[in-house]
Structure 1
Amino acid sequence: MPETSGANILLRRARRLRKLTGDDRLQSQSEIDQQNMTASEILSVALVRPMEIMLQDPSIFFVNLYTGYFYGVFYTFFEVFPLVFPPFYDFNLGQTGLAFLLCLIGVIVALLIYFAYVYFYMVPDNINNGFREQEHRLVPAVIGSCLLPVGLFMFAWTADSNIHWSVPLVGVGIFVIGHFWTMQSLFIYLPFSYPKYAASLFAGNSVWRSATAGASIVFARPLFINLGVHKGVTLLAGLSVVGIFGTLALYVFGKRLRARSKFAES
Structure 2
Amino acid sequence: MLSTSDTVTPTPQTDIELASISPQPNKQSDPFLVKFAEPYDAENPKDWPTGRKWAVTDVLSATGFNRIMVSTIMAPALSTIAAEFNMNSAESAMALSIYLLATAIGPLAIGPLSEVYGRKPILHASNLWFLVWNLVCGFANSKELLIASRFLAGFGASAIYALANGVLGDVWRPEQRGRSLAVYLLIPLLGAAVGPIIGGFMAFRTTWRWMFWSTSIFQAVMILVSLSVFHETYEPLILRSRAERLRHETGETRYQTADERLQAQAQAHQSPWIVLRRALIRPIRLLVSHPIIQIASFISAFNYGILYIVLSTFSELWTHHYHQSVEISGLHYIACAVGEIAGSQICASLMDRLYHRWTAQPPSSSFSSSQIHTHTPELRLPTIIPGALLAPLGLFLYGWAAHHHLHWAIVDLGIFVALLGMQITGMPLQAYVMEAYPEHISSAMAATQFLRSLTAFCFPLFAPRMYVVLGYGWGNSLIAFLGLGVGVPAPLVLWVFGERLRERARVR
Give TM-score scaled by structure 2 length.
0.48
Give, in whole Å, the separation in 1 of the partners of 2:392 and 2:254: 58
Map of 2:276 onto structure 1: 42
Q: Which amino acid aligns with 2:431?
A: I
Q: Which amino acid aligns with 2:309?
A: T
Contact 2:399 2:477 in 1 (8 A): yes
SS in 2 for 1:261: helix
Map of 1:30 onto structure 2: 259
Give, in whole Å, the separation in 2 of the partners of 1:226 and 1:40: 51
- CA spacing shift, 1:162–1:68, aligned 2, 3 Å: closer
- CA spacing shift, 1:162–1:209, aligned 2, 3 Å: closer
Map of 1:11 onto structure 2: 240
- CA spacing shift, 1:10–1:147, aligned 2, 3 Å: same
Map of 1:255 onto structure 2: 499
SS in 1 for 2:252: coil
Q: Which amino acid aligns with 1:181?
A: I
- CA spacing shift, 1:19–1:153, aligned 2, 3 Å: farther
Give, in whole Å, the separation in 1 of the partners of 2:507 and 2:483: 28
Give, in whole Å, the separation in 1 of the partners of 2:434 and 2:349: 22
- CA spacing shift, 1:215–1:103, aligned 2, 3 Å: same
Of the candidates 302, 310, 314, which is equivalent to residue 77 of structure 1?
A: 310
- CA offset digits 1:73-102 (Å, max 9, x no partner): 100112321342223322211121001001
Contact 1:88 1:160 in 2 (8 A): no
Give, in whole Å, the separation in 2 of the partners of 1:231 and 1:127: 47
Q: Which amino acid aligns with 1:122?
A: Y
Contact 2:355 2:375 in 1 (8 A): no
Which structure is higher in RCO with an 8 Å CA cutoff and minimum separation 6? 1
Residue 115 of structure 1 deviates from its aligned partner by 3.7
Supply the RMSD in Å over aligned alpha carbons: 2.5
SS in 2 for 1:163: coil
Give, in whole Å, the separation in 2 of the partners of 1:117 and 1:61: 25
Give, in whole Å, the separation in 1 of the partners of 2:315 and 2:405: 18
Contact 2:309 2:460 in 1 (8 A): yes
Q: Which amino acid aligns with 1:211?
A: L
Give TM-score scaled by structure 1 length.
0.86
Match status 1:117 vs 2:360: no
Give, in whole Å, the separation in 1 of the partners of 2:417 and 2:403: 18
SS in 2 for 1:23: coil
Q: Which has the larger radius of gyration?
A: 2
Map of 1:196 onto structure 2: 439
- CA offset digits 1:180-217 (Å, max 9, x no partner): 12111011111212222322101112222122211223
Give, in whole Å, the separation in 1 of the partners of 2:393 and 2:432: 24
Of the candidates 48, 56, 68, which is equivalent to residue 301 of structure 2?
A: 68
- CA spacing shift, 1:116–1:28, aligned 2, 3 Å: closer
SS in 2 for 1:228: helix
Q: Which amino acid aligns with 2:500?
A: R
- CA spacing shift, 1:131–1:180, aligned 2, 3 Å: farther
Match status 1:225 vs 2:476: no
Contact 2:401 2:411 in 1 (8 A): yes
Match status 1:160 vs 2:398: no
Give, in whole Å, the separation in 2 of the partners of 1:227 and 1:53: 37
Of the candidates 5, 21, 32, which is equivalent to residue 250 of structure 2?
A: 21
Match status 1:236 vs 2:479: yes
Residue 225 of structure 1 deviates from its aligned partner by 2.5
Map of 2:394 onto structure 1: 151
Deviates more, 1:139-148 or 1:3-12: 3-12
- CA spacing shift, 1:162–1:65, aligned 2, 3 Å: closer
Give, in whole Å, the separation in 2 of the partners of 1:115 and 1:239: 26
- CA spacing shift, 1:25–1:261, aligned 2, 3 Å: closer
SS in 2 for 1:140: helix
The alignment-based identity, stated in percent, is 27
Give, in whole Å, the separation in 2 of the partners of 1:137 and 1:184: 9
- CA spacing shift, 1:111–1:191, aligned 2, 3 Å: closer
Map of 2:4 onto structure 1: none
Map of 2:285 onto structure 1: 52
Map of 1:172 onto structure 2: 415
- CA spacing shift, 1:93–1:192, aligned 2, 3 Å: same
Contact 2:322 2:405 in 1 (8 A): no
Residue 23 of structure 1 deviates from its aligned partner by 3.1
Of the candidates 313, 316, 333, which is equivalent to residue 100 of structure 1?
A: 333
Q: Which amino acid aligns with 2:384?
A: A
Could you list the runs of 5+ residues in structure 2 that have no partner in the other structure?
Answer: 1-44, 47-169, 172-233, 362-371
Q: Which amino acid aligns with 1:53?
A: L
Match status 1:213 vs 2:456: yes
Give, in whole Å, the separation in 1 of the partners of 2:446 and 2:507: 16
Contact 1:88 1:161 in 2 (8 A): no
Deviates more, 1:233-242 or 1:29-38: 29-38
Give, in whole Å, the separation in 2 of the partners of 1:63 and 1:119: 21
Give, in whole Å, the separation in 1 of the partners of 2:279 and 2:484: 35
- CA spacing shift, 1:250–1:80, aligned 2, 3 Å: same
Residue 7 of structure 1 deviates from its aligned partner by 4.5
Which one has the bigger helix percentage? Answer: 1
